[in-house]
Amino acid sequence: MTKVPMTAVSLKSLRGFVFDILRAMGVPEEEAEIFGSALIFSELRFHPGHGQGVKKLRRYQSRFAEGGIDPAAPWEILKESPALALVSANNGIGTVAATRAMRLAIEKSKVCGIGQVIVRDS
């Protein structure tokens, strides 16, 4: 087995690189922050062979270009009550949809004691 030398880069440089790449792929600023942070977190956890982290950028670029994922898909609340919501991610980035859903569920739980958000089309 050939050993590949590792190159260390600063977290600041990695964040800037990932954010710039995502923006160049058409991912809006807020979504690039959410998604980029998740990719970097996975990278820092270093799970070799799990297909996680920054190395997935090329795969996402292909999915965006082929229309498999819409990098700028709108977040749409389809139905809502004080404690529940059904949202459509409109074929957007799953990590972004999950993050937004969790934020909405937390806000609902602050009011009702419970919050549940169901995401579809992600």
Whether 4 is in a domain gets the answer: no
For residues 53 and 15, membership in a common domain is answered with yes
Asked if 94 and 113 count as a contact pair (C-beta separation under 8 A), the reply is: no
Q: How many structural domains does the chain have? A: 2
For residues 18 and 56, membership in a common domain is answered with yes
Mean pLDDT over each residue of the chain, to the nearest integer:
92
Asked if 70 and 100 count as a contact pair (C-beta separation under 8 A), the reply is: no
For residues 15 and 60, membership in a common domain is answered with yes
For residues 34 and 81, membership in a common domain is answered with no
pTM (two decimals): 0.86
Whether 80 is in a domain gets the answer: yes
**Cα separation of 60 and 66, whole Å?**
10
pLDDT given for residue 15 in this prediction: 95
- Is 90 exceeded by the pLDDT of residue 67? yes
Asked if 118 and 94 count as a contact pair (C-beta separation under 8 A), the reply is: no
| Mean pLDDT, rounded, for 45-52 | 64
pLDDT given for residue 75 in this prediction: 92
pLDDT given for residue 100 in this prediction: 97
Whether 71 is in a domain gets the answer: no
Provide the domain limits for residue 28: 11-66
Per DSSP, the residues of 40-99 read: HHHHHH--TTS--SGGGHHHHHHHHHHTSS-TTPPPEEEEE-SSEEEEE-TT--HHHHHH
